[in-house]
Amino acid sequence: MARVILLRADIADRFRKRHKRPHPEFGSGTIGAAARSFERSALPRACDAEYLRCLRIMIEAQLDPPEHHLS
């Protein structure tokens, strides 16, 4: 799912740069905008272990993008 969100953010960012407007489905090109189309859990009161695991997944996905993910 992390890779899907990052890919959607990349698609939206390219669309925004080319068309000077947000992508109709994926938003403005930010990771947050791309993630908004998915169901979200409530934020924890503190950075608990589960929250930190989620952050780690997103960071690792950004550091190791798929081959077809153009930047």
**Measured CA distances, 56 to 2, 18, 60 (Å):** 10, 31, 6
Taking only the tens place, the pLDDT of each residue in 29-44 is 999 999 998 998 888 8
pTM, full prediction: 0.79
Tokens describing residue 67: 């081959």
Between 5 and 68, residue with greater pLDDT:
5
Look at 45 and 21; give whichever has higher pLDDT: 21
Tens of pLDDT, residue by residue over 59-68, are 999 998 666 5
One-letter-per-residue 3-state SS of the chain: CHHHHHHHHHHHHHHHHHHCCCECCCECCCHHHHHCCCCCCCCCCCCCHHHHHHHHHHHHHHHCCCCCCCC
